[in-house]
Each structure stands twice: as structure tokens, then as C-alpha cells.
Structure 1
Amino acid sequence: MPTLPSFLDAAASRHAARTALSMDGRVLTYAELDASANRIANSLIREGVRIGDRVALWMPKSLEAIASIWGILKAGAAYVPIDPSAPVTRLATIARDCKIRALVTAMDRANDLHDEFGASAPMRAVFYSGDGAGHVRGAPWSSLIWNDVEAESPESPPIRIDDDALALVQYTSGSSGAPKGVAISHRALVAQAEWTVTAMGLSSNDRIPGYTPLSSAMSTFEVFSAVLAAASVFPVAPRIAPFPAAVAKSWSDQRITVVYLVASVLQMMLSRGNLGALDFSALRTILIGGEHLPAQRLGELMRLFPHVRFMITYGRTEAKLRSLHEVKFPPAEIDTRTIGKTAADTRLLVLDEKENPVADGVIGELWIAGPGLMLGYYRLPEMTAEFMHTVRLSPNDSVLACRTGDLVRRRPDGTIELVGRADEQLKVRGYRVELAEIETVLCRHPAVQTAIVIGVPDLEIGNRLKAVVVLKNGSAVDEQTLRSHCAAELPSYMVPEAIEFRASLPLMSNGKVDRRSLRESA
């Protein structure tokens, strides 16, 4: 099986002059992207990065950020994307957890790194995009700016990578109160990209927007599937990303053909993007993933773009599969919850609590088996064994599978319907959020005795976060102070929008907090 760098090597060889990336008036052809990735790889190797090392990426989306992903992979290392909105304390937690060897970031973050890490940094080198070498002198790590990287050789380094080698460590919200890293191999990402390109018919004629943050699991579509197809990607500049009308106008001007967005972003575009006034005649496919899109809102989109194919996708960070379910007009609510077709070598299992298959129509938990499975949770072998292990389906059928936490049922026609979750995990703006992690951060404040976080359903963003807090006797703190406390440790989408103070929390007869009561009163 090929490895990810072979995708870029092939695209640069066959489509050298074709646009690979275009953003803010800057363009990189496939030949230029390949040369830039090689320079980054050679620079990383010169700084001591070896096969299997981890290199973190903590910066807004840019051509340099995307080229860095390819450079990291060509050096034989794995990339660790960190939400650019996350505070430096979260970067430090992740950096120490996976012992990053190098970091790629923006120049304006240099002072934050000094203040947070001091002399105890795990990384040996930091690569800064932008100018200003004088701002990084005296750091306890090697400091390199983009001019240093550009001086390296544009030739591909002689690195041999196994297809089971680590390619990506994707950190997600953790139920234990800290983010957890999902370790993903070249094999899993290659399998995902190959199936996606084939199933969707992606080609070098396609033009794809790069809206999804690189820290999101969905970004592998625009990074890897696009390059495998030699398509052109138009990353959305951070300066216009918060403005739906500006983003939609840029997509119209760029003659975008395939869009892949989380449901909350599509709803935002529908409400505030002025879509009906723009020319989207080049658009052929809209993929919807990450969270549920109500059928009524999907119907509005379908009426607006009657010439476009609409597909619901399903995937998990732990199992790099993508399913596709094409929705016809008018959409039914059941269509928006359908887990569609997958690759032939991928199995979707519906199991009960004892890991036995359930009958059609009976609700069970979805497990996934196939080449897209993660290697495991990074440095968490016990958690890995709990969520991914061999399942015995019959005396003659055993398979390595990963549980998803999603409750589903198989319909008589063989398709699978998504019903809900088996835990407290939910989606906010397309991101997975474990409420326990936010609660842990809140309880670290000296004035807080206990805290519960709930999700308040919201049609536009999926859920809005609300915290219910009980303070220690004699303590006082206001809502804004607690929000600032959370913002110092969590990415912006995990900071509660509202905080309610109570003298006590409602309890059920078994002594546990009555979360349902809190949700009903929200």
C-alpha cells in the first residue's frame, strides 16, 4: 500500500503546473507545493527530526501550514495539529503528552511559547512562519524562520516509510478531563482518501474550498483526498472565515465544485451567506458531515441548488472511514440520520452491551472494522484496549473493531440509522466535546465546589454549552471570571456560553446528578 507522501509525489509529477493551493492571491502549483514540502522535510531532518517523531502544528490556516503537513510526513514524522484558537497552555499539555520534537507556528506566538515553556520545552526546534528573527533569539530551542527553510534543498529526502507508520496524532476532547490523542497510520489515511476519491469521482478538474480547521478530523479530505485527485484547494483565509457572506462570495468567484462542511456551518451559510444572489453553477456536490442537519434546513439548501448532489457523510476520528448517503429531494428526517455506503473492506457492526450482534431494528452500539482503524489512543493502552479489540461475532468470525459510542439500528433494507449517543459526548460547531473535560477545568478554579456542563440544542451550531456551578462556602466569583478561566485552558468552542450559579445540583434517587432535569430547565 502507498504512503501519503506518494500522493504529492505523483501529483507533482503528473500535474506540475496545476494549481494545488490558492489563498489571498497567492498560488502554489503542485510542483511548488512539492518543492516547499521537501524543503520543510529537509529542514526538519537537519534539526534532528527522525522517523516516528511528532511535530506539532499550531497556527492559523495558510499555505505554509498545509505545506508543513506534507513536509512533516516527508520527513517520516507524524503531524499533530492543534486548534489555532487554543491557548498556549493547551498546546503545552499536548506537546508534553506526545513529546513533540518540533513545532511549526506563527511568529506572533513566540512570546507565548517563551512564557509557557521556558527551559522545559520538549521540542528541539520551532519553525516560525513570517519574518522577525530578532524576536526569537535566546530561546532554549533552535528557532528558524521561513527564510531558513527556503534555503534547504527542494529534493525529496531519502526517507522510507512503512504504511503502518504513525502519520497523525489527532487530539480530541477527553472524558478523563484532559485531551486524548488518536494515533492514526498512513494506512488508515490512505484507505480513507482512496475510497473517497473513487466514491465521489474526484478529479483534477475539481475545485475544493479549505474551510475546515486543520485540527479537525474532517480536514484530511481537503489535504489528502484533494491531492490524490490532483484537485485545486482554496483555503479560506482566517480574516474572512467568520463572515459567511464573504466566504460564500469567494467560493462563487473561485468556481468551487465540491464543498464538504459540518452541518452548523452550512446552516450559517444558509442564514447569512446570501447564497441565492451568487453564481454557484459550477458546484456539483455538497457533503454534509460532523453533526445532524435537520431535514427542513437540508430541503432549503436543495431548493436553492437543484443541480447539486447532496450527500450525508459519517465518520469517526478513531476509524478513518467515510460513508456516503445520497439524499434525494424532498429529504426526510430519516435521510439525515442514515449511515450510507462504505468501502467493501469496511464492516459496520451493531452490537449489544455484551458485544453480540443484535437483530435488525434493535438499537445497539456501532462498531467499525477495517483498514481505517486507529493505531490506538496515544500512550493510553488501557483505554485503547477498552475501545478497540477483537470482537467474536460467531465461532468462525472474529474481527478487530473499534466502538464508536453511537447508538444505531439496522433497517430492513440493510442501511443503518443513527439514533443517538451512549455517553455524554456531543458536537459543538462540528467538534467533539466531552463535557467532563470542561467540568474538570471549571472545578480547578479555587472558588468552585462542583460543576456540570450541559448541551442546549441549537439548530445553527448543534449545541450551546451551559455550565451549572456550585461554589464553595464563603466563595464568590462571577460568570465572566469563570469563562476567562476556561478560555485559558480550552479552545474557544469548549468555553460555556452561559454559567448559572446554584446552591446545589438536582440529584436522582441513586445519588447521581440529574442531568436530564438540568437540560429540561435550560
Structure 2
Amino acid sequence: MTTPTEPTAPAAPTAPAEPTAPAVPTESAAPAVQAPPPLSLPDAFTAHARTRPDAVALLWHERAVTYRELAETAERERLRLHTLDLAPGEPVGLPAAKSPEQIALVLACLIERRPFLLPSPQLAPALLAALFAQAGARHLLTPRGQGAPALPTLARPAPVPTLAAGTSFLLTTSGSTDLPKIVPLAQAAVDRFTAWAHDTFDLGPGRVVANYAPLNFDLCLLDVWATLAAGGTVLLIDPAHALNARHLLAQLTRHRPHVLQAVPLAYALLAQAAATQAAGPTTELDSVEHAAFTGDAIDARTLAALPALLPNAALYNIYGCTETNDSFLHRLDRLDATAALPVPIGTPLPGVRTLLAAPDGTPVTGPGHGELYVSTPFQAAGYLDRSRDAGRFTTQPGGAGPGRRWFRTGDLAVRDEHGRLHLTGRADFQVKVRGVAVNTAEVERVLLAHPEVREAAVAAAPDPLTGKRLHAAVQRAAGSALNSLTLREHLARNLPRAAVPERLAIHDTPLPKTATGKVDRKAVLPTA
């Protein structure tokens, strides 16, 4: 790999030095993020609309929406809220179909201090209905002129949980066939996060930030909401075209964003589109100064393509959960062919505390493996349904710490001799095959290392003899003749025999996705 060119102007933020002897728990050396910015997100947006009304707030396809236009639409939606018979603190339901009008509807709720549930519109109608019922959202709102989805009528739980004062966003965890968990975020926590994002990625007037993630993703707290709070411009990528590599590259080339945050899949698509247009006038995204990948592990092939694709960008790996928001930031100052994968998740953000816990719950000191726990200034106090907190929101493992609230991530990590953390898989991805412990995430990593594999998913099915049977599916590259025999040989060279999947399906089309856009591992399993 080559070394990425450092951004020229403005200078990228300097990542904190990697700790050499991390304490347990560890905490960023920077001062804790305690106070929200002088203005909260809704007040900051309103101020920009008043003082800079003609500045562009949103770019949507070829349409530019000014702060004045967005504020006027939000005000009309705010007045509509007043026509509803809403009790104080009662949330409304907003299926998160991305559009300028939907963003105005969210802003109306923020300005009105009205909590809102923002689930994926791709969830099954029964799941959406169950989520709205659980939150006590009697009113499902869509932008004016747009029809609301037809949902089945479900009995509401009794009693409906009471939201804490100051709650704004109600996000949801992934969930594909199961009911997602509802994650309430206090506006003060959101404001602390937007302040961090503003300072770290130099958000503000004149800056364009690309938003790839669907509107229900917590990634939008940076891409959309922190950008609008800072007075910048959000380039909205339409989810209907998010997997169209040429469209994605064309949007970024045309609108020249300064900041890009996306899942590794988006960067893989950009690299693919750039490679096929190498003979064109330019295949570089030279406007990007900060490029962050998050939400999943990046593969070596995509990582190697980034310095050429983003010649002026500082590259970052961001780690976080919906429940805690971003927790770690790692800046890749040098890339070379010997760089270890997975990429380190880096150092804690200001005010974030973190620790590794051994299987018996005791903290791991120094180098070693364990499950990752975090506590952030941006996190939820717990799920809306507190009965689902068990095993996730907890006190410090080992009982040695104060009464601070911790989140058990379920992610397994290793701390190296330099104090850097690397994710190694999920606790719930650990299975036994013929008595051998196998991490299905590691099998996926090896599959993705094959140069002709574009996507991979591995799942385990119960087996009365072997304990678990592994099933895998991959999408091969366009024009590839990759077959299961060749791929099994690749796996056998890099994995123990028990970790080679029993069933291996090869596809020429993208693998099925969950409602949140990740590969649906459950779809790998046989239906009968």
C-alpha cells in the first residue's frame, strides 16, 4: 500500500497518541466532553436559517435546498404537530425515508422538543407497528403529500414506558426478523456528540459532508444533524441508488464533499467505479479531507485502494454502537502492505471510558483478549424497554468501579503490546464445530481476502453430531469464474479444518441485506 497524502487545508485533527500502558478501565487523555455547545442542535439550525438563509443546507440529486427553504418547511410541519392531540412528552412515529422533506419533519420535532421514533421504512409492517406501539407513538407522520404505510393494528403494551425528560431521537438497533430494541437519546447527549464532530472534522459554513447512511442510522448524527447544527451542507445520497457505484462516484465528483463517512461497502463501490472509469478525466475524489469508515471491518483490497482514490484525505476508522454512539477513533497515518488487519479501532474519544473483560468478568490488564465494554458521554441510559437492558447496560465488570453506567458491546477485542485495540469478532459469533471453537467473523474475513470475492456471509446451523454446521455465501466479482472447489482450497490454506463451511454458495448478485443495509447472515441458512 502507498502512503496517503496529508490534507492541505484545513489541517486534519491530530489523533491522540496511542497509549503504551493502558490502565483498566482506559480513558482518553483529552478533557471529558461534559457541556453541550452554546446552542443545541435545533437552536443552532434555527440561528443559521436566520443569519445565513441563502446558504445551501441540503443537496438532493440535482436539487439544492437552502436553510431558509428547509426552515420554512420545518415550520409548516411544526404547526402540523400542534393539530394533533399529543400529550406532553408523547413521541410521534417518523418512518425514516430519506428526503429533504423528511429531514424538515425531524427538524420540526427537534424545534418543538417532541420525541420521535425514527425506524427504517424497510422493516416489515408488523415490526413497524410493534415498535410504534411499544413507544406509545399514536401518530405516524410522513411529510405533507406523502402517504403513510399501512400497518396492522396491534395492542399497545400496558403500560407504555415513560420517556425521560429531554429525550429527542428514538433510534433502533438492527433487528431483521426480531423486534429491534428502541434506543432513546437525550438531546443533551446528542449536543455533546455534535460538538465533538464539529471540532474533529471541521464542520461549518462552506463545508460539504456526504451522507451515505440511511436516515435511521446513528451515523446520521454526524453526517446530517451535526452538519446542520454547524451550518454546513449535507450531500444526501439516495438509498435507492446507494449500491449503484457509478451514481455514487458521480454524486461525489459533482458535489465535491470535504467529509465522507460511510460503511466499507461504499468505499468498495467507489473503488470499483473509479477503476472502471480510469480512462476518464479524473477518478480521484481530491476534495475529501476527512474520510471515515465505520459499521463493519474494512477488507484489505478496499483499504489498499483508498490512498489513490482519496489522495488528500486523512483516513479514519470509527467504532461505536447505536446505544453509545461513537466511542473510538483511529487515524491511519501510514498504509503499507504489511499493515495488520483488522485496522485498530484506535483510542477513546474525549470522556469515553473502556475496558476489556475476561470470560469470568474480571478486567484484562495489559495485552490480552476480552469482551469490550464502553461508557460514553453520548450514550443512552438504557433501552426504552428496560427489561432488555440485562446483559447490555450494566455496572463495571468485576464491581471495582463507581456507579457509572457501562455498555457491554458483545464485541471481542485484543489489546496489543502498544495498547491498541483490534476487534476480532462477536461474542455471539463464537460457535463450536466438532468440539473446535470457531469465530464465524474470522471465516468471513478469510473469504473476503480472496481477490475475487466481493461479499461474504457465514452462519451456523444446529447439528446433533457436530454441534454446529457452517454455511457460507459469497458474491464473486463480475466476470469471475470462481468456483466452490477453488474457494475451499483457499479456506483450507488459511483456516482449521473445522472452520471450513460445509455448504458454500457462490452468487453473481449482491447478498441479501437486513433493513439496516448489512449482509443478512440469517439468509445464508437453508430454509428447510
TM-score w.r.t. length of structure 2: 0.70
1:375 aligns with 2:381: yes
Q: Would the aligned equivalents of 1:248 and 1:275 in 2 still touch at CA under 8 Å?
A: no
Question: What is the SS of the residue equivalent to 2:373?
Answer: strand
* Matched letter for residue 19 of structure 1: V
In structure 2, the gaps of 5 or more residues are: 1-35, 157-162, 431-439, 445-456, 462-467, 478-511
Q: Would the aligned equivalents of 2:210 and 2:260 in 1 still touch at CA under 8 Å?
A: yes
Question: What is the SS of the residue equivalent to 1:101?
Answer: coil
Partner of 2:26: none
Deviating more after overlay: 173-182 vs 102-111: 102-111
Residues 50-98 of structure 1 show CA distances to partners (whole Å, capped at 9, x for unaligned) of 4432222225311011111111222222222222333322221222222
Q: Would the aligned equivalents of 1:72 and 1:79 in 2 still touch at CA under 8 Å?
A: yes
Which structure features the higher share of strand residues?
A: 1
Partner of 2:293: 288
1:458 deviation in Å?
Answer: 6.6
RMSD (CA atoms): 3.8
Residues 462-490 of structure 1 show CA distances to partners (whole Å, capped at 9, x for unaligned) of xxxxxxxxxxxxxxxxxxxxxxxx99x97
Q: Take 1:224 and 1:34, find their aligned partners in 2: how far apart are those partners?
A: 14
1:320 aligns with 2:346: no
Q: Would the aligned equivalents of 1:184 and 1:376 in 2 still touch at CA under 8 Å?
A: no
Residues 162-192 of structure 1 show CA distances to partners (whole Å, capped at 9, x for unaligned) of 9962222222245993222122221222222
Mapping 1:243-258, distance limit 5 Å? 243-258=244-259
User: Residue 498 and residue 33 in structure 1: after superposition, are their counterparts in 2 closer, same or farther (change >3 A)?
Assistant: same
TM-score w.r.t. length of structure 1: 0.70
Partner of 2:526: 500
1:11 aligns with 2:48: yes
User: Residue 106 and residue 394 in structure 1: after superposition, are their counterparts in 2 closer, same or farther (change >3 A)?
Assistant: closer
Partner of 2:307: 302
**Percent identical residues:** 22
- Choose the corresponding residue for 1:413, options 394, 412, 418: 418
User: Residue 435 and residue 38 in structure 1: after superposition, are their counterparts in 2 closer, same or farther (change >3 A)?
Assistant: farther
Partner of 1:77: 114
User: Residue 342 and residue 34 in structure 1: after superposition, are their counterparts in 2 closer, same or farther (change >3 A)?
Assistant: farther
- Choose the corresponding residue for 1:361, options 356, 367, 377: 367
Question: What is the SS of the residue equivalent to 1:46?
Answer: coil
User: Residue 388 and residue 238 in structure 1: after superposition, are their counterparts in 2 closer, same or farther (change >3 A)?
Assistant: closer
Partner of 1:117: 152
Q: Take 2:472 and 2:138, find their aligned partners in 1: how far apart are those partners?
A: 37
* Matched letter for residue 92 of structure 2: V
Q: Take 2:517 and 2:264, find their aligned partners in 1: how far apart are those partners?
A: 19
Question: What is the SS of the residue equivalent to 2:328?
Answer: strand
Residues 176-229 of structure 1 show CA distances to partners (whole Å, capped at 9, x for unaligned) of 932221222212222222112212222322211222101222122122221122
Mapping 1:17-36, distance limit 5 Å? 17-36=54-73
* Matched letter for residue 152 of structure 2: F
Mapping 1:83-98, distance limit 5 Å? 83-98=120-135
Q: Would the aligned equivalents of 1:313 and 1:324 in 2 still touch at CA under 8 Å?
A: yes
Partner of 1:62: 99
User: Residue 175 and residue 405 in structure 1: after superposition, are their counterparts in 2 closer, same or farther (change >3 A)?
Assistant: farther
User: Residue 24 and residue 272 in structure 1: after superposition, are their counterparts in 2 closer, same or farther (change >3 A)?
Assistant: closer
User: Residue 8 and residue 459 in structure 1: after superposition, are their counterparts in 2 closer, same or farther (change >3 A)?
Assistant: farther
Mapping 1:80-479, distance limit 5 Å? 80-105=117-142, 110=147, 112-113=149-150, 116-117=151-152, 165-174=166-175, 177-272=178-273, 274=276, 276=278, 277-278=282-283, 280-331=285-336, 332-334=338-340, 336-379=342-385, 381-391=386-396, 397-424=402-429, 456=473
Question: What is the SS of the residue equivalent to 1:209?
Answer: strand
Q: Take 1:70 and 1:399, find their aligned partners in 2: how far apart are those partners?
A: 32
Partner of 2:80: 43
1:36 deviation in Å?
Answer: 2.1
1:37 deviation in Å?
Answer: 1.9
1:282 deviation in Å?
Answer: 1.5
Q: Take 2:59 and 2:289, find their aligned partners in 1: how far apart are those partners?
A: 20
In structure 1, the gaps of 5 or more residues are: 123-161, 440-450, 461-485, 503-522
1:320 deviation in Å?
Answer: 1.5
